[in-house]
Amino acid sequence: MYVLYRHPASVPVALAIVASLALPGCGSMDEKPPAAEHLVDPNATAETRALFENLRALAADHVLFGHQDALAYGIGWSGDPGRSDVKDVAGSHPAVYGWDVGDLEHGASRNLDGVNFGLMREWIREGYGRGGVITVSWHMDNPASGGDAWDTTPGASSILPGGEHHGKYRTWLDRFANWVPTEVPIIFRPFHEHTGNWFWWGRESATAEEYRHLWQFTVEYLRDVKGLRNLLYCYAPDIVDSPAQYLERYPGDDYVDVLAYDDYWALNSDAGAAVMAGRLRMLVTMAEERGKLAALAETGLDGIGDEDWWTNRLLRAIKSDPVGRRIAWVLVWRNARTDHHFAPYPGHRSAEDFVAFHDDPFTLFEDDLPDLYQPLSR
Ligand code: BMA
């Protein structure tokens, strides 16, 4: 849909132009975008670093579209090779693939939603192989009570160093490190929506200090003990309405590469687009001040009741603010059932509008992507 990105040979030039035109502080076409000097992992793989830099350049003028579990199943099918509901409707896979490793902590063969972990690893490689972006969340069970992620029994302090379940938590992280395909750059988004009160790491179950320590320990363990070099770390609270609230539990610039948030609240009504635009503006401002990426890590309307939700709600909200529009990606949740889905499928009431959303030059699907894993030319 956007010719500039269709020709691999022109990509480095195109990226440099996009970045120099639109990144703050880059006044002329000769200037280079600022270097990504502050990744959480200073020894991240070249591909991981390139992903960060390319996403930062693309975010100036585009948003990548993502879908959870896209390759695993959709409405009326499961495990069909090369298939996604997004591709069935729009002709291209999403640009971003979300996966969740809930239950990997127990060494289970399938995640909490029944996705086989061996196949998930292959789908991650497949999406990456086509140039897509991979992000992983973790609906981790409650380490203290044995309940699920939604069991709000306090658990964070018990897995910190010195805590009763600390050894168990190390084992859980070991299982993640053993499973994750280390050659694939992955945007890792643990302990999300923590400003809500529905997870055991949420605001009513963990103090701000416990949350920060849990995050910092997790990063240091995966990076320094397990030696994972392929992770970018994404911090994603639920909706908040001030920078102070956003940063209350923030573990620090040394521990976060992507400032994101989840928002299932704003886009249920027409008026909500302005609310979301304001939140995105706040998010992008905080991210750019720190040299980080910004993203709308999860959003959507379950069932997508409005025919024009994609262009008139989501895209309008993202595009409407000149700062807020500089998020790198937006991801919608999984297509589990006809009564629980966030992307269209063939015959869906919003399918036609989704094609228009795909065709808009602002959105990038997999068929629009440049090589995100090659260093940005300087
Ligand atoms: C929720 C729902 C659940 C699912 C969970 C983790 O929002 O989709 O059915 O188990 O996410 O993927």
What does the pLDDT look like over 213-252, one tens digit per residue?
999 999 999 999 999 999 999 999 999 989 999 999 999 9
376 band by pLDDT with thresholds 50, 70 and 90: confident
Q: Both tokens of residue 258?
A: 């992507």
Based on the residue annotation, tell me whether 126 is a catalytic residue of this protein.
no
Complete DSSP assignment for 111-133: -TTS-BHHHHHHHHHHHHHTT-E
Instruction: Name the DSSP class of 294.
Output: E
Those residues with Cβ within 8 angstroms of residue 168's Cβ, 6 or more apart along the chain or in another chain? 143, 159
Q: Quickly list H helices, the chain.
A: 11-22, 46-58, 85-90, 117-129, 156-159, 166-179, 208-220, 243-247, 272-289, 316-319, 351-359
Q: What is the mean pLDDT of residues 180-201?
A: 98
Find the range with the poorest average confidence among 118-132, 266-280, 352-366. 266-280
With contact defined as beta carbons under 8 Å apart, do 323 and 57 qualify? no
Mapping DSSP to helix (H, G, I), strand (E, B) and coil, where does residue 170 land?
helix
Rounded to 5 degrees, φ, ψ at 100 are -130, 135
Mapping DSSP to helix (H, G, I), strand (E, B) and coil, where does residue 96 land?
strand
10 band by pLDDT with thresholds 50, 70 and 90: very low
Q: What is the mean pLDDT of residues 353-373?
A: 98
Ligand 1 centroid–CA 2 distance in Å is 34
For residue 61, the tally of other CB atoms under 10 A from its CB is 17
21, pLDDT greater than 60 = no
Based on the residue annotation, tell me whether 298 is a catalytic residue of this protein.
yes
Q: What is the chain's alpha carbon radius of gyration, rounded to the nearest angstrom?
A: 19
Ligand 1 centroid–CA 267 distance in Å is 19
Amino acid 11: pLDDT:
32
Find the range with the poorest average confidence among 18-22, 260-264, 293-297. 18-22
Ligand 1 centroid–CA 139 distance in Å is 9
173 band by pLDDT with thresholds 50, 70 and 90: very high
**Given 47, 105, 193, 288, which residue is catalytic?**
193
Which residues are 65's β-sheet partners? 330
Amino acid 268: pLDDT:
85
13, pLDDT greater than 90 = no
Long-range CB pairs of 10-16, under 8 A, 24+ apart, other chains included: 11/370, 11/371, 11/374, 12/374, 12/376, 12/377, 13/377, 14/370, 15/54, 15/57, 15/58, 15/370, 15/376, 15/377, 16/57, 16/376, 16/377, 16/378
Amino acid 286: pLDDT:
98
Q: What is the mean pLDDT of residues 329-352?
A: 98
24 band by pLDDT with thresholds 50, 70 and 90: very low
378 band by pLDDT with thresholds 50, 70 and 90: low
Query: 111, 298, 333, 338: which to mutate for ligand 1, most atoms within 8 A of CB?
Result: 333
Q: In whole angstroms, give the CA distance from residue 106 to residue 115.
A: 14
With contact defined as beta carbons under 8 Å apart, do 257 and 233 qualify? yes
Task: Look at ligand 1, atom 7, and give the residue with the nearest C-alpha.
Answer: 333
pTM for this model (two decimals): 0.91
Amino acid 37: pLDDT:
58
Q: Give the up-direction half-sphere exposure of residue 226: CA atoms within 13 A in the CB hemisphere.
A: 23
Amino acid 25: pLDDT:
34
316, pLDDT greater than 60 = yes
317, pLDDT greater than 90 = yes
> Which of 26, 2, 93, 4 lies closest to 378 in space, CA to CA?
26
What are the tens digits of pLDDT across the range 58-84? 999 999 999 999 999 999 999 999 999
Q: Both tokens of residue 10?
A: 């022109």
188 band by pLDDT with thresholds 50, 70 and 90: very high
Amino acid 168: pLDDT:
98
